[in-house]
């Protein structure tokens, strides 16, 4: 099974690399190349997330496992940042605190982490429609019709909740979307559910040269001839029809690339590392970029080309999170914050026999 799914991990690595690349200074130097990647970047992430979705677990178990895997590291990291900012008198106000629980990209200090809150909401929503609305029992044409209508409705209403004027007790507030980015759920659920419905095809994926050529041509034509653009975090979905077509074409191209890289050990090594450290890269790459690029530019601008400095900062924002992951997996204490409890031997031991019970047992036996 692991060998079959190498290309999925490689695809995850490519996806998280594109996220870091978009937030790096390369975005400004190569705007016309990197900006169109928005058509593929997040749709691919949501589709890949759907591959391993299952709704067989009981509700309490399912919701807890998703909270443990996604929201636990989110709250641990952002509440820790809040405490540090508060202690340094560099922010840490009530707006930042509330923003953590609102959970959108514009309400938190480390913006890319909005993906974790939304993915949690997405898992819960799809679980409910499959388990209780019996979406999986519908015929295929009905499923795809509902998904198409959901995506169309979501695209057309994407900006309705984006900084609206809301009057609360006589005061006007402008919230950045709905909590956990629920306002984009009809669109992201479309990509996620398609990943689930086609999971067997994706797990056993093999490229078709003809389809690869067609998808590449269509993607390039849309990029060159239209203003199609997708940015879920900023609620942008321009040229909706073209954008959706480009997203699926781009996803196919990336899957073909991932499959090709997965066939050679030396080619897949780096994207596999990134794919398996995607949580840590997602969490830490943005603050690392904000720290390293100005530092490197200040000290190396007289010696190196700006592109080289941008490349060094990009490399660091990918490699440092990988190093953080290596430290975490070697520490059962740190695992409590970042790794699901069921994968932590320390948590399992504590849950099976808490220390106070062990001491009590020893006293009785003496």
Please write the tens of the pLDDT for every residue from 161-179.
999 999 888 888 899 999 9
pLDDT of residue 316: 98
Q: Over the stretch 95-144, which tens digit does the pLDDT of each residue have?
A: 899 999 999 999 999 999 999 999 999 999 999 999 999 999 999 999 99
Query: How are beta strands 166-168 and 171-173 bridged, if at all?
Result: antiparallel
The pLDDT value recorded for residue 344 is: 81
Looking at residue 1, its pLDDT comes to 37
d(CA 173, CA 19): 30
Secondary structure of residue 235 in the 3-state scheme: coil
Supply φ then ψ for residue 231, to 5 degrees: -145, 95
Predicted pLDDT at 3: 45
pLDDT of residue 2: 43
The predicted pLDDT at position 194 comes to 97
Instruction: Check residue 351 and give its pLDDT.
Output: 65
- Contact between 24 and 314 under an 8 Å Cβ cutoff? The reply is yes
pLDDT at res. 352? 63
Strands 229-231 and 171-173: what pairing? unpaired
Q: Is 94 exposed, middle or buried (0-12, 13-18, 19+ CB in 10 A)?
A: exposed
pLDDT recorded at residue 365: 40
Contact 181, 118 (CB under 8 A): yes
Stretches in the chain below the pLDDT threshold 50: 1-3, 357, 360-366
What is the length of the chain? 366
Tokens linked to 46: 């949501």
Retrieve residue 38's tokens: 């928005």
**Contact (Cβ atoms closer than 8 angstroms) between residue 325 and residue 280:** yes
Burial class (CB in 10 A: 0-12, 13-18, 19+), 221: middle
Closest to 265 in 3D by CA, of 18, 2, 4, 6 = 6
For residue 39, report the phi and psi dihedrals to the nearest 5 degrees: -65, -20
- For tokens 């913006």, the residue is 111
């Amino acid at each position: 099974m692991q060998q079959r799914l190498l290309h999925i991990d490689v695809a995850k690595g490519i996806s998280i690399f594109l996220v870091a690349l978009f937030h790096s200074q390369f975005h400004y130097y190569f705007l016309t190349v990197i900006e169109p990647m928005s058509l593929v970047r997040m749709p691919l992430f949501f589709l890949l997330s759907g591959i391993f979705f299952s709704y067989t677990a009981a509700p309490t178990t399912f919701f807890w496992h998703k909270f443990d895997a996604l929201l636990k590291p989110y709250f641990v990291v952002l509440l820790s940042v809040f405490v540090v900012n508060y202690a340094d008198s560099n922010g840490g106000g009530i707006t930042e605190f509330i923003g953590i629980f609102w959970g959108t990209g514009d309400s938190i200090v480390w913006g890319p982490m909005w993906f974790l809150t939304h993915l949690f909401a997405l898992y819960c929503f799809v679980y409910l429609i499959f388990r209780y609305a019996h979406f999986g029992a519908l015929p295929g044409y009905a499923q795809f019709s509902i998904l198409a209508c959901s995506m169309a409705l979501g695209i057309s209403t994407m900006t309705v909740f984006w900084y609206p004027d809301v009057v609360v007790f006589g005061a006007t507030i402008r919230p950045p979307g709905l909590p956990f980015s629920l306002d984009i759920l009809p669109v992201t659920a479309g990509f996620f559910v398609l990943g689930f419905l086609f999971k067997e095809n994706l797990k056993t994926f093999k490229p078709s040269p003809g389809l690869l050529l067609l998808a590449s041509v269509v993607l390039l034509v849309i990029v060159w001839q239209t203003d199609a653009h997708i940015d879920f975090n900023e609620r942008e979905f321009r040229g909706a029809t073209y954008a959706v077509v480009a997203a699926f074409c781009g996803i196919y191209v990336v899957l073909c690339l991932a499959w090709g890289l997965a066939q050679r050990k030396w080619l897949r090594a780096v994207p596999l590392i990134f794919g398996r450290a995607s949580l840590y890269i997602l969490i830490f790459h943005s603050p690392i970029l904000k720290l390293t690029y100005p530092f490197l530019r200040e000290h190396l601008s007289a010696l190196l080309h700006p592109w080289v400095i941008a490349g060094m900062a990009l490399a660091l924002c990918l490699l440092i999170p990988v190093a953080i992951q290596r430290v975490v997996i070697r520490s059962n204490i740190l695992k409590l914050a970042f790794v699901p409890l069921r994968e932590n031997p320390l948590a399992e031991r504590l849950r099976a026999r808490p220390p106070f019970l062990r001491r009590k047992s020893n006293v009785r036996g003496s």
